[in-house]
Amino acid sequence: MSQQENTTRLLRQLPHHGNTERRDDSGRAPEGEDASPRRAPAPLTVLLADAQPAIRHGVRSLLEHISDISVVGEATTADEVLAETSRCKPDVLVVDPLMDGPTGVQVISQVLRMTPATGVLVFSSVDDDKAITSALHAGARGYLIKRANADQILRGIQAVAAGEAIVDKSIADRLSDLIRPAGGQYCYPFPQLTNREREVLERIAAGKSNSTIARELALASKTISNRVSAIFGKLGVADRAQAIVLARDAGLGHG
């Protein structure tokens, strides 16, 4: 599929978004509503990383029609991803980890160490269990297959920006199998955490406060605070609410 055909396909799928302010026939806001100008919220910033120019161009063309999203950069290699992330600190990185071959997934964890608040959405043609689990374990919040339509891409970006986890439907149907090997032995979804950090995260996911966790683990409150900060950094989340969403989506905190 040519670059023009790919862009046309995405634009044809483009959903209608944006706020329309209600006015009467005179152009004034209806009586009782505040007609004073309001400061628009800062747009959600997105960095696009893919070795294929047609994909980058297609997704950019889609997002440029969304008033509250701004594409702040593009990258074609892992090195460019890191440089652009450092430069613009995007809210969301949309990335195909295969830019630099099989080890390209490592860029996800590198990005999250650099800018923990950036949400990573993988957008790849690879629907392979190993690739998916590698990306999720590296810290990606979402994984979409490149057959996704415009609305799914937009929803994925917005979900990741909000700290939510999102995966392609075909992946969701087998997600539990991806984190549980065939032998039945449980595979912890966040291997980057230490055993003690796992204990803390499981309690965070259950909605427990730092003081409660400190009592249960017989540790000082300051120690728990330090561990919570370390967990947030390793998971690439900005706050407790995001950590809870990510942990619960991975199956923690339901017991």
Tens digit of pLDDT for each residue in 51-80?
Answer: 999 999 999 999 998 989 999 999 999 899
SS3 assignment, position 168: coil
CATH of 195-249, one of 3.30.465.10, 1.10.1370.30, 3.30.70.1230, 1.10.10.10: 1.10.10.10
Q: 59: closest CA among 141, 152, 184, 187?
A: 152
Q: Residue 12: its pLDDT value, please?
A: 55
Q: What is the average pLDDT across 3-23?
A: 47
Domain ranges of the chain: 3-13+43-178, 195-249
- C-alpha count within 13 angstroms, C-beta hemisphere, residue 212: 9
Reduced to 3 DSSP states, what percent helix, strand and coil does the chain have, rounded to the nearest 5? Answer: 50, 10, 40
Name the more confident of 253 and 87: 87
Q: What is the average pLDDT across 111-135?
A: 87
Contact 21, 29 (CB under 8 A): yes
Same fold for the pair 3-13+43-178 and 195-249: no
Q: What is the average pLDDT across 180-207?
A: 74
Q: Residue 40: its pLDDT value, please?
A: 64
Q: Tokens representing 188? A: 């912890």
CATH of 3-13+43-178, one of 3.20.20.220, 3.30.1160.10, 3.40.50.2300, 3.40.50.720: 3.40.50.2300
pTM to 2 decimals?
A: 0.59
Sheet containing strand 69-75, strands side by side: 69-75, 44-49, 92-95, 119-124, 142-145, 166-167
How far from each other are the two terminal CA atoms of the chain, in whole angstroms? 48
Q: What is the average pLDDT across 121-133?
A: 87
